[in-house]
Structure 1
Amino acid sequence: LEEEDNFRGDLRTHALRKVSQQEGSCPTGSQSLEKLRRLRALDSKQDDKLANVLDAVGEFGTFQRRLVALTFIPNMLSAFFLYADYFVFTHQTPYCNTSWILAVGPNLSEAEQLNLTLPRARNGSFQTCLMYLPVSWDLNSIITFGLNYTEICQDGWIYPDSKTRSLVNEFDLVCGNEPSKEMVHTINLAGILSGSLIFGSISDRFGRYPAVLLSLLGMAIFGFGTAFVGSFRQYLFFRFMVSQAVVGYVISSVSLVMEWLVGEHRAHAIILEHCFFAVGHLAVSGFAYGIPHWRLLFLVGGMPMLPFVSYIWIVQESPRWLMMKGKVEEAKKALCYAADMNKTLIPPSLLKELHPLGKKLTKASILDFYNNKHLFKVVMAMGCVWFTVSYTYFSMNRKMKQFGMNVYFGQVILGIMDVPARLCYIFFLEQIGRKWSLTLTLTQATIISFILLFLPQELKSTMVVVLVLGQFTLASTVTVFFIYTAELLPTVLRSTGLGMVSLSWAAGAILSLTIFSQISSQLPIFLCCICSILALCFTSLVPETQDQPLYDSLHHLSRSRDLSPMKTGEEESLSDDASDEGLENTAPDDPPLILDPYDLSDAAPEKPYDMEEPSLDS
């Protein structure tokens, strides 16, 4: 291994020296850059030996298909639990409980009871939060003289016009007891915020598989258990815990799937997962419309999690994470299990190339997001993008509610739009890459925000159409964001990085809810435009990841930066700064080539090194 590193270092040095000598005779630098691309491909291929083993296992065989399929149901239920709050706070018309009059008039109908005991408003309707004081008269006296003195409800409320059982009439959240919608959303967002940090750390420290299992247990216990809460405070606590579990599952499952798959199969798997998330969004809308009781809604949503927790035991741990922890034999067993299921055979020479990395290479902490320049750029850039998506999504959602759209119809429309929004970006991800796909979606979001800013409020139908298009764009942005961010982060800090970036989602949502609750002008939409422009600027700081290997350690990450080619318009040149900032932000357009270094006669070192042939051919 040490000789391989020395060989690559000498090979790179000679190549750079030779390119510098040829600058005068080759103004365009195309030959020099082609050699650098070959060197970069060789170095990346040798560093990512695990990718060669995964190729031998099978790019998308039975094992990988089953792994991706196992993520579908939890993703559906994640959406089910996240969007349930929209349907369990349905409006109810309350009236004071005046059953005291039944003691003197047991044969009174409900209409007669309300007519005798409730005061009326000026429009003739019964007042909802007032009642006449009880008296010790007989029924005839009450009918003859009537009741005159009112007070607030003393014995609770009744809901005679209600056809469904919601949290409102279950816990009497009326007449001054109404919870703030911002407060309920903030509880959920606080769960997302804390869950991002907790489960991101668990996934990187203890493994993807334990984090997935723990999050599934959380959704089963607190999602299913919500149906049995005895107070509204207990309901908020269970919602807080299930939000933690949902974001934990999203982070850990994305890391697990990305590290088991290779090439474009990673993007396809994440897109399918998000499509099933949209299906779950549609499912909760349909179930909430057809199920008349909120407790039954959570029973239906949580019940599938109970058997699924036991079914998840067949999932294998990420071999990349096992390698980073020095558990090479466990990684080999997991790979052989996958190959056996795919009915393929891994060449023994490939397995022999898997060696544990040193502790210095695998050592990493959350402080590396500040100390490492590349990680700092990734977290800053993608955090800004995630903040923009969150703030814009919630702002458009609140804007749509201002037009009086039915909650069921609005959620169904958004769920239906999410699926084609995500599927259509399969083409863009393959053709123009991750970076330009994200740039495209952010550009669309910026244009839509500007249209909303200048569109007259009187054109309600046009405004609703533009808002729906905005939600369509944001759905595709979410999918591209997860794929791109997971590929930018190294294995040793992938889940922690996703968790840190997810903090900005909660920040954007809280800011949107706060601004809309206090400001009714166009300022929230104007901020959407500003945030989208800033996100576009930050996106330019991170490099392309299409057709590039996943990096496992900070050491591999820094070495890959040193080999990135630099483009400067029509003229391309190399300098002593080639390994620094300019090289970090670019990636080759050509797919990596597998090349024998001895074919580069111009850049070969004078003293050959004895290397094993299988490692070069791989």
Structure 2
Amino acid sequence: MAREENFKEELRSQDAPRNLNRHEAAGYPYSQSLKMLLRRLKVVTTKQDDKFANLLVAVGEFGTFQRRLVALTFIPSILSAFFMFADHFVFTAQKPYCNTSWILAVGPNLSEAEQMNLTIPRAPNGSFLTCLMYLPVPRNLDSIIHFGLNDTDTCRNGWIYPDAKKRSLINEFDLVCGMERKKDTPQIVFIAGLLIGSLVFGLITDKMGRYPAILLSLLGLIIFGFGTAFVNSFHLYLFFRFAVSQSVVGYSISSISLATEWLMDEHRAHAIILEHCFFAVGTVLLTGIAYSLPHWRLLFLVGGVPAFPLISYIWILPESPRWLMMKGKVKEAKQVLCYAASVNKKTIPADLLDQLPRKVTKASVLDFCKNRQLCKMMLVMGCVSFTISYTYFALTLRMTALDVSLYFSHVFPGIMEVPARLCCRFLLQKIGRKWSLAVALLQAVIWCLVLLFLPEGLKSVKVLVLTLGEVSLAATATVLFIHTAELLPTVLRATGLGLVSLASAAGAILSLTTIRQTLSLLPIFFCCVSAIAGFSVSFLLPETQDQCLSDSLDHSSQMGNKVGDMTTEDTSSDDMSEEAAKNTVLNAQILKLDPYPVSSTALGRINEGEADSQAP
């Protein structure tokens, strides 16, 4: 063994100058290579400190098991978008007229036009009034035609919709003539469900596990999403929408938690980005289906049928081993990890499995108040989430005020959100989570400012700016969820995501209830102020790129200090001398961090040395 070590040391000393000459011949910038090497060294050190990361490496960082797990999130994401925005397409505008079928008793052969001409008063411009009718009189048809009718009243026997091309909730439940305000109620009820579901499912996901929370939310999509097609009253419709909204946010929280805890590094971000991209695809599909279907009940039937195959998730969806480990369920965690390794055709060393901690880690929602570092992070993330939601809904309502086609206002942003979110992937890799969030928020600030100073009359330009603002905010939301999931500890990850979603729902409700009151530029000014505030506080969040996930509250509270130390180390590295840079490059060669291969002759000598050392 001593002979082998001496030979390897000699080999290193011979190869190192040659590799350094390669750097010098190419004019390799030492400062850049030094930063890259320091970063890679920190990544290696971080992974060594995270025992669970070592396990995931042994299981396979992104093998068949992980790819299948990511693919399983696609269909529920499409359905979530389908059920989330369905309200926008079931209130197709219908022009009502009073039901005056009483005249058919004296004139059964009257056509619909003749019936309306005799029984419905006209406006000064000659059009029929929609909410008034002539009262019945005890006269025959000839007398009514000759003398006409005089006494009017509001509709007594319901309404008819002769110009309606689709069956919507308006003509299903007669939301007309003083009942128009009820058209806004489902959207407010849905967001209220998001608000309550964020807190409820956040707690359920952390207490019961990611697996049962996902199954519970999928069950809610099946029962309340598909079941909406069979409601027989408007109040029952509101109840079903309230219930399905909780399932939508519950799936979002639990699926992000599961993907975050099963995947590593860039794969984790890619999985959440793809999940949100399929959410945008669901919006586009919803628009196309709603345009082609003649009845609102068919819309929920078509959207609910694909939810039934999701019952198979009972047998194919895994639990998070990190969550099992924190709950002291070491045996179950080992079983899940071994199964994942078998799917990836890997073998986990027994000593790695034995290193799993057996201590149960307890935490509650009150820890967000007790833990100072965690409290600060939650306040910042909640502020950013509130800003994104408030501004997004404000821009959406502004688009509605411009009388833009309902289908265009959903298809165009939905299509653009996919490349926008995919671009976040490169931002996250190049500049990290913290700066990616700041850049995305800065874009939203810019579009809001442009909209604020646009002159009146440029409708097409305003529509374009509003669309770009919505797309920027959608991408910002994706980056925020990635950053939030990585910042929070495993024991409170879902609860924290729920609180962030709660802040988002609060921003949406405030936007819906206040911005509808005015069409002036004041709401856009408030959007600019809130976006600037969110942009400013986002710099208070620590960076999580290439950092191991925190499992306990102690680790989470130390993250800010650790990241600060690393930043200081990066800054001070620029002042190192050229000789120190050379030594760092040489050491990296020895540690095999650089991609320069060892020659085949040298490898043969190593093999010969190992064979000699093993000979009797």
TM-score interval for Structure 1 and Structure 2 normalised by the shorter chain? 0.7 to 0.9
Q: Deviation at 1:517?
A: 2.0
Cα 1:559/1:40, change in 2 over 3 Å: farther
**Matched letter for residue 519 of structure 2:** S
Distance between the aligned counterparts of 2:252 and 2:571, measured in 1? 43
Contact 2:542 2:559 in 1 (8 A): no
Distance between the aligned counterparts of 1:62 and 1:151, measured in 2? 70
Corresponding residue of 1:468: 467
Cα 1:70/1:567, change in 2 over 3 Å: closer
Corresponding residue of 2:490: 491
Contact 1:257 1:266 in 2 (8 A): yes
Corresponding residue of 1:137: 139
Corresponding residue of 1:600: none
Which residues in structure 2 correspond to 1:57-206 (within 5 Å)? 57-206=59-208
Distance between the aligned counterparts of 1:161 and 1:41, measured in 2? 66
Corresponding residue of 1:422: 421
2:286 maps to which of 279, 284, 287: 284
SS of residue paired to 1:386? helix
Q: Which is further off, 155-164 or 510-519?
A: 510-519
**Matched letter for residue 202 of structure 2:** G
Q: Deviation at 1:46?
A: 4.6
Corresponding residue of 2:16: none
Cα 1:277/1:370, change in 2 over 3 Å: same
SS of residue paired to 2:440? helix
Cα 1:553/1:334, change in 2 over 3 Å: same
Distance between the aligned counterparts of 1:227 and 1:34, measured in 2? 57
Q: Deviation at 1:38?
A: 10
SS of residue paired to 1:175? coil
Corresponding residue of 1:602: none
Distance between the aligned counterparts of 1:37 and 1:492, measured in 2? 28
Distance between the aligned counterparts of 2:131 and 2:265, measured in 1? 62
Corresponding residue of 1:301: 303
Distance between the aligned counterparts of 1:109 and 1:558, measured in 2? 77
SS of residue paired to 2:540? coil
Cα 1:477/1:68, change in 2 over 3 Å: same
Q: Deviation at 1:147?
A: 0.9
Q: Does 2:273 match 1:274?
A: no
Distance between the aligned counterparts of 1:60 and 1:300, measured in 2? 34
Cα 1:92/1:560, change in 2 over 3 Å: closer
Corresponding residue of 1:316: 318
Corresponding residue of 1:258: 260
Contact 2:100 2:116 in 1 (8 A): yes
Cα 1:477/1:317, change in 2 over 3 Å: same
Post-superposition Cα deviations, 1:487-515, rounded to whole Å, max 9, x if no partner, equal: 00010000000001111111111221222
Q: Does 2:216 match 1:217?
A: no
Post-superposition Cα deviations, 1:344-371, rounded to whole Å, max 9, x if no partner, equal: 11111211211213x4xx1211111111
Corresponding residue of 1:13: none
Distance between the aligned counterparts of 1:571 and 1:212, measured in 2? 43
Q: Which is further off, 554-563 or 460-469?
A: 554-563
Q: Deviation at 1:207?
A: 0.1
Corresponding residue of 1:379: 378
Contact 1:438 1:481 in 2 (8 A): yes
Distance between the aligned counterparts of 2:513 and 2:74, measured in 1? 34
Corresponding residue of 2:408: 409
Distance between the aligned counterparts of 2:435 and 2:205, measured in 1? 29
Tell me the number of residue pairs that the alignment of Structure 1 and Structure 2 aligns. 545
Cα 1:262/1:41, change in 2 over 3 Å: closer
Q: Deviation at 1:301?
A: 0.5
Contact 1:47 1:556 in 2 (8 A): no
Post-superposition Cα deviations, 1:208-265, rounded to whole Å, max 9, x if no partner, equal: 0000000000111000010011110110111010001100000000000111111100
> Where do 5+ consecutive residues of structure 1 fail to align?
1-32, 574-589, 597-618
Contact 1:182 1:513 in 2 (8 A): no
SS of residue paired to 1:407? coil
Corresponding residue of 2:480: 481
Contact 2:91 2:183 in 1 (8 A): no
Post-superposition Cα deviations, 1:410-451, rounded to whole Å, max 9, x if no partner, equal: 111111111111111111111111111111000111111111
Which residues in structure 2 correspond to 1:575-590 (within 5 Å)? none
Corresponding residue of 1:554: 553
Distance between the aligned counterparts of 1:270 and 1:53, measured in 2? 22
Q: Does 2:539 match 1:537?
A: no
Q: Does 2:399 match 1:388?
A: no
SS of residue paired to 2:153? strand
Corresponding residue of 1:520: 519
Distance between the aligned counterparts of 1:569 and 1:519, measured in 2? 52
Cα 1:34/1:104, change in 2 over 3 Å: closer
Contact 1:40 1:560 in 2 (8 A): no
Q: Does 2:448 match 1:446?
A: no
Cα 1:356/1:119, change in 2 over 3 Å: same
- Structure having the higher helix fraction is 2
Which has the greater radius of gyration?
A: 2
SS of residue paired to 1:119? coil
Distance between the aligned counterparts of 2:54 and 2:332, measured in 1? 17
Corresponding residue of 2:435: 436
1:354 maps to which of 342, 356, 359: 356
Post-superposition Cα deviations, 1:533-583, rounded to whole Å, max 9, x if no partner, equal: 11112111111111111111112223444544165699759xxxxxxxxxx
Contact 1:433 1:546 in 2 (8 A): yes
Distance between the aligned counterparts of 2:305 and 2:166, measured in 1? 21
TM-score normalised to the size of structure 2? 0.85
The sequence identity of aligned pairs, in percent, is 64
**Matched letter for residue 429 of structure 2:** E
Corresponding residue of 2:29: none
SS of residue paired to 2:265? coil
Distance between the aligned counterparts of 1:561 and 1:409, measured in 2? 44
Post-superposition Cα deviations, 1:315-334, rounded to whole Å, max 9, x if no partner, equal: 11000000000001100100
Distance between the aligned counterparts of 1:179 and 1:515, measured in 2? 15
Q: Does 2:325 match 1:326?
A: no
Distance between the aligned counterparts of 2:259 and 2:277, measured in 1? 15
Contact 1:39 1:563 in 2 (8 A): no
Distance between the aligned counterparts of 1:264 and 1:41, measured in 2? 12
> Where do 5+ consecutive residues of structure 2 fail to align?
1-34, 574-584, 592-616
Distance between the aligned counterparts of 1:168 and 1:417, measured in 2? 31
2:251 maps to which of 249, 252, 258: 249
Post-superposition Cα deviations, 1:127-146, rounded to whole Å, max 9, x if no partner, equal: 11111111121111111111
SS of residue paired to 1:432? helix
Q: Deviation at 1:518?
A: 1.9
**Matched letter for residue 335 of structure 1:** L
**Matched letter for residue 219 of structure 2:** L
Cα 1:181/1:391, change in 2 over 3 Å: farther
Post-superposition Cα deviations, 1:150-183, rounded to whole Å, max 9, x if no partner, equal: 1111110011110100000000100112234443
Post-superposition Cα deviations, 1:17-71, rounded to whole Å, max 9, x if no partner, equal: xxxxxxxxxxxxxxxx999989976774354211111111111111111111111
Cα 1:42/1:546, change in 2 over 3 Å: closer
**Matched letter for residue 376 of structure 1:** C
